[in-house]
Amino acid sequence: MSISSVIFLLAFAIAVWWFTRNVGRIRRNILLGRDEQINDRKGERWALMTKVALGQSKMVVKPIAGLLHIMVYAGFVIINIEVLEIIIDGLFGTHRVFSFLGGFYGFLIGSFEVLALLTWLACAIFLIRRFVLRIKRFWMREMTLWPRTDAGLILTFEILLMTAFLLMNAADHTLQRMGVGHYLEAGSFPVSSVLAGWLGFGDFDASTLIGIERTSWWFHIIGILAFLNYLPYSKHFHILLAFPNVWYSKLKPKTEMSAMPRITAEVRSMLDPSLPPPAPPAEPANGMPPEHFGAKDVFDLTWKSLMDAYTCTECGRCTSVCPANLTGKLLSPRKIIMDTRDRLEEVGKVIDVKGKWEDDGKDLFSRISEEELWACTTCNACTQACPVNIDPVEIITGMRRFLVMEQSKPSPSLNAMFTTIENNGAAWAFGPDKRMDWVKE
């Protein structure tokens, strides 16, 4: 095995190990949430995942952004098929090992090049939309320095990767035509052949072209490995979680709130004394906090809500359709999800350092204010607009439940309704005997 192959093997092994480690950390964080069984209506779930995650059906609601995203999505998925060839070449010192496919190989390389160009153009347009046109939803208050930088880094990185891919092919194509060494004629290069002409590669000597080809090759593959390990630290982890997150979507009516099993059991035992009382909550293990009514911290949310937090693309479509936000209220569904993820990361770091959970004196309310929670109308416009079926309302209603049931802190308007229900048996401020007076008119 050559020195080059040994270096590649070490880089590849380290990248895979580090990525696996970080994915394991995120999986542990997600499983800190309450258990929830989601395995019903499997056929419907597969169809939904195919339509929304694979087919990008919600992205095209905004046609320009949707089309550009599909270009990047297709480019990212399909172009990375050639990574398999690069890995084999890197490990065994071969060059274009799949060239034996003949005409089909030429079709593949040609398709990859067109997709690479489209991805390059789409990312450039995304950068212009975000940082030059400054579309409003990308510059709201929750889009602080890091979220904006993260988006810019990813788009720039993808442009660099596509540039390296096309430069590699341009140099390779020129070397093939010169008949240099092992650069046997293989592949079709509709984009890089034009690029080679623009850059005057035909006038370069063989050693210079080999240097460009090898540098681009190494930059492309090491860049992909670096990109892979950047994902767990970025909003772009949705590339991996979008499919399972859509599969586990809420299929019951969006406005139907989830029941609280202990409360349900308590009420049933009150209505029917023959039923056994609910079992007391189990003692928390390994330093975990006790069970709450509603959601005080990430431990009180379901694992699906925590997966939602890691799947968020921070696109802001949820906030852009939120009626509360549109009327100037503090609520931003995107911020709710981002705050949940940031809190979950904070909890995970405590566990990493201490080896178990130890109360740090913070919770979800350290990041999300009561004003934000009570501004929500639970219309579920945010959930409907989300390209990957994230459900911010589930988190909001869980935190509201905690405020009402454990803190006795409902909103003033809700408190007034509770009082009228207690006094009049209805939500209106008049007695049941007058409720039907309107029909007499």
Distance CA 387, CA 195 (A): 36
User: Which tokens sit at 179?
Assistant: 């008949």
Averaged pLDDT for residues 58-73: 88
pLDDT computed for residue 366 by the predictor: 94
User: Which tokens sit at 262?
Assistant: 């202990």
pLDDT computed for residue 432 by the predictor: 63
Distance CA 130, CA 138 (A): 6
Axis crossing angle, helix 42-49 with helix 238-247, rounded to the nearest 10: 150
Could you say which DSSP state residue 360 is in? -
pLDDT computed for residue 260 by the predictor: 79
Is the confidence at residue 97, as pLDDT, over 80? no
Reduced to 3 states (helix: H, G, I; strand: E, B; else coil), residue 125 is helix
3-state helix, strand, coil in the chain (%, to 5): 70, 0, 30
Residue with tokens 């909890």, as numbered in its chain: 347
335 and 319 Cβ atoms separated by less than 8 Å: yes
First to last CA, the chain: 95
Averaged pLDDT for residues 170-194: 85
Residue with tokens 């569904």, as numbered in its chain: 333
Is the confidence at residue 290, as pLDDT, over 90? no
Distance CA 59, CA 72 (A): 12
Averaged pLDDT for residues 286-300: 84
pLDDT, one tens digit per residue, over 111-127 is 889 999 999 999 999 99
Identify the weakest region by mean pLDDT among 110-124, 256-270, 361-375, 389-403: 256-270
Q: What percent of the chain has pLDDT over 70?
A: 97
- DSSP bridge partners of 34: 302
pLDDT computed for residue 45 by the predictor: 95
Q: Kindly tell me the burial class for residue 244, based on how many C-beta atoms sit within 10 Å of its own C-beta (0-12, 13-18, 19 or more).
A: middle
Please report the sign of the dihedral spanned by the C-alpha atoms of residue 59, residue 65, residue 69, residue 71: positive
- DSSP bridge partners of 259: none
189 and 58 Cβ atoms separated by less than 8 Å: no
pLDDT, one tens digit per residue, over 316-326 is 999 999 999 99
Sequence length of the chain is: 441
Averaged pLDDT for residues 58-83: 84
pLDDT, one tens digit per residue, over 81-93 is 778 888 888 888 7
pLDDT computed for residue 182 by the predictor: 75
pLDDT computed for residue 370 by the predictor: 93
pLDDT, one tens digit per residue, over 16-48 is 999 999 999 999 999 999 888 898 889 999 999
CB atoms within 10 A of CB 280: 8
401 and 294 Cβ atoms separated by less than 8 Å: yes
Is the confidence at residue 388, as pLDDT, over 90? yes
Q: Kindly tell me the burial class for residue 291, based on how many C-beta atoms sit within 10 Å of its own C-beta (0-12, 13-18, 19 or more).
A: middle
pLDDT computed for residue 189 by the predictor: 86
Identify the weakest region by mean pLDDT among 182-191, 254-263, 282-291, 377-386: 282-291
pLDDT, one tens digit per residue, over 132-165 is 999 999 999 999 999 999 999 999 999 999 999 9
Q: Radius of gyration (Cα) for the chain, nearest Å?
A: 28
Please report the sign of the dihedral spanned by the C-alpha atoms of residue 408, residue 413, residue 418, residue 423: positive
Residue with tokens 């258990």, as numbered in its chain: 35
pLDDT computed for residue 328 by the predictor: 92
pLDDT computed for residue 431 by the predictor: 63
Per-chain mean pLDDT for the chain: 88
In 3D, which of 287, 285, 297, 367 has the Cα closest to residue 332? 367
Averaged pLDDT for residues 62-89: 83
pLDDT computed for residue 272 by the predictor: 81
In one-letter notation, the amino acid at residue 324 is A
Is the confidence at residue 380, as pLDDT, over 80? yes
Identify the weakest region by mean pLDDT among 204-213, 228-237, 257-266, 380-389: 257-266
pLDDT, one tens digit per residue, over 200-245 is 988 888 899 989 989 998 999 999 899 989 999 998 899 899 999 9
- DSSP bridge partners of 314: none
Please report the sign of the dihedral spanned by the C-alpha atoms of residue 424, residue 426, residue 427, residue 428: negative
Is the confidence at residue 74, as pLDDT, over 90? no
What pTM was estimated for this model as a whole?
A: 0.86
pLDDT computed for residue 306 by the predictor: 96
